[in-house]
Amino acid sequence: MEEHDRTEGKEDGVRQDGRAPKKSSIIRELIIYALLLIICVRIVPAYIIQRTIVDGPSMEDTLLNGESLLVEKISWHFGWIDRFDIIVFYPYGREVEEEYYVKRVIGLPGETVQIIGSEIYIDGELLEEDYGKDPITNPGRAAEPITLGEDEYFVLGDNRTVSLDSRYDKVGNVKQENIGGKAIFRIWPLDRFGGLD
């Protein structure tokens, strides 16, 4: 009978010691849950990690049109962007955030980039890389040496015959302040789920 009474008490919102929970503890829990919800919905996508979608064929065969990626948004603040990282950036500045590009970093701050024939040279040295789907046929502005500023990157799409990238004045050198983040993981489609090269 005593066991039955304790069970009934729990169902009526009475603690095991016979007292009702304090309203202040319920309010405190609600505030904690509300803060967690705000962090997950607003802070994480704005400052830590967010999902983005590839638009167009410029990164084929590495990334395909319509694929969903996770982009981490911390590295660029500290200049932790390495050669061959795939970044998301705003070619026309952050005030036009609905227009973003996804490209691969080729040249780093302070380096000189030049394309001779279909070969890429960094500071006069041939860059060994095999990310291009096809050989470069148009060096664009990189036919002449381009020296990057201390906050600038030179980017190319992997599908170099169709990519609008740093070879063209419309995009040019990418300023660090216009980088939205580094693509780190493909989450869709499921048959291509996984990390990025």
Q: How confident is the model at residue 45 (pLDDT cuts 50, 70, 90)?
A: low
27 vs 186, residue with greater confidence: 186
Predicted confidence (pLDDT) at residue 166 exceeds the cutoff of 60:
yes
Q: Break the chain into its structural domains and give their ranges.
A: 2-47, 54-195
- pLDDT for 29: 76
- Name the residue type at position 196: L
Q: How confident is the model at residue 9 (pLDDT cuts 50, 70, 90)?
A: very low
54-195 is classed CATH 2.10.109.10: yes
- pLDDT for 18: 57
pTM for the full model?
0.75
Predicted confidence (pLDDT) at residue 6 exceeds the cutoff of 90:
no
Active-site choice (103, 163, 166, 182): 103
Give me the mean pLDDT over the 97-123 stretch.
Answer: 94
Any catalytic annotation for residue 23?
Answer: no
- pLDDT for 2: 46
Predicted confidence (pLDDT) at residue 113 exceeds the cutoff of 90:
yes
Pairwise CA distance, residues 119 & 129, whole Å: 10
Question: How confident is the model over 53-100, as pLDDT tens digits?
Answer: 999 999 999 999 999 998 988 876 676 899 999 999 998 876 766 789
Tokens of 145: 């040496």
Q: How confident is the model at residue 41 (pLDDT cuts 50, 70, 90)?
A: low
- Beta-carbon contacts of 31 under 8 Å, excluding residues fewer than 6 positions away, are none
Nearest to 71 by CA among 97, 95, 96, 93: 97
Tokens of 75: 């590295």
Long-range Cβ pairs for the range 129-136 (8 Å, 24+): 129/84, 131/62, 131/84, 131/104, 131/156, 131/158, 131/197, 132/156, 132/158, 132/159, 132/160, 133/60, 133/61, 133/158, 133/159, 133/160, 133/161, 134/159, 134/160, 134/161, 135/160, 136/160
Question: How confident is the model over 87-104, as pLDDT tens digits?
Answer: 999 988 767 667 899 999
134 vs 22, residue with greater confidence: 134
- pLDDT for 10: 47
- Name the residue type at position 15: R
Active-site choice (58, 163, 166, 182): 58
Any catalytic annotation for residue 133?
Answer: no
Question: How confident is the model over 167-178, as pLDDT tens digits?
Answer: 999 999 999 999
According to DSSP, the residues that pair with 181 across neighbouring strands are: 88
